[in-house]
Amino acid sequence: MKIGVLASGRGSNLQALIKAWQEGRFSAEFVAVGSDHADAMALKRAEDAHIPQRAFPLKDYSSRKEQEQAILEWLQESGVDLLVLAGFMRVLSPHFLKELNCPVLNIHPSLLPSFPGLHAQRQALEYGVKVSGCTVHFVDEGLDSGPIILQEAVPVEPGDTEETLAERILKVEHKLYPEALRLITAGQIKYDKKK
């Protein structure tokens, strides 16, 4: 399986995936790491792991649509069988998802369907929940609404801030995302568009 990754920032989830791959925890090939930010640490992490990488800064394109089309064509040229979003801070269009024509994974810092979208940890704290967590799911045309693959709970502790909760959830993300890739690359999880 050929895996492509899109990331916008530091790429800590990407690093967790690369580490698991280097340790032989799943059988696949990383063929592309792209970012919408030229200075994203994720690109450096990919370079260090000898994975082809490319930046697609919005300023290089006349529109977001043109930027997205360039990303799509690059992923297709790379032969991607599975696209993994690792902190990619853009919603992919229905056109992109249809034309890519392969499963797309995302990890979200809440127990979906609760608290989709941005600032999930803030939403959890404002709502007063006692348990948060993270979810690996397939991406569909909705916002964090695709079929759920794995979830793990993280307790909300007294005195938690958005930052402290996010940090504890991120540690769990670094375990859960590689496990999802292991299950998918081993053929133990199938995607049928609905579940």
Structure tokens at 8: 């916008």
What pLDDT is recorded for position 1?
Answer: 95
Q: What is the pTM of this model?
A: 0.95
Distance CA 50, CA 79 (A): 17
In the chain, how many domains are there?
2
User: Can 174 be counted among the known catalytic residues?
Assistant: no
What pLDDT is recorded for position 137?
Answer: 97
What pLDDT is recorded for position 190?
Answer: 82
Q: Which of 102, 135, 155 corresponds to the end of one domain?
A: 102
- State pLDDT tens for residues 39-92: 999 999 999 999 999 999 999 999 999 999 999 999 999 999 999 999 999 999
User: Helices 120-127 and 162-185: crossing angle, nearest 10°?
Assistant: 120
159 and 113, same structural domain?
yes
Q: Which of 102, 128, 143 corresponds to the end of one domain?
A: 102
**Domain hosting residue 9, numbered range:** 1-102
Catalytic one among 95, 108, 119, 137? 108
Residues of the chain with pLDDT under 70: 193-194
183 and 98, same structural domain?
no
Q: Do β-strands 2-6 and 82-85 pair in parallel, antiparallel, or remain unpaired?
A: parallel
Distance CA 122, CA 47 (A): 33
What pLDDT is recorded for position 193?
Answer: 66
What pLDDT is recorded for position 194?
Answer: 66
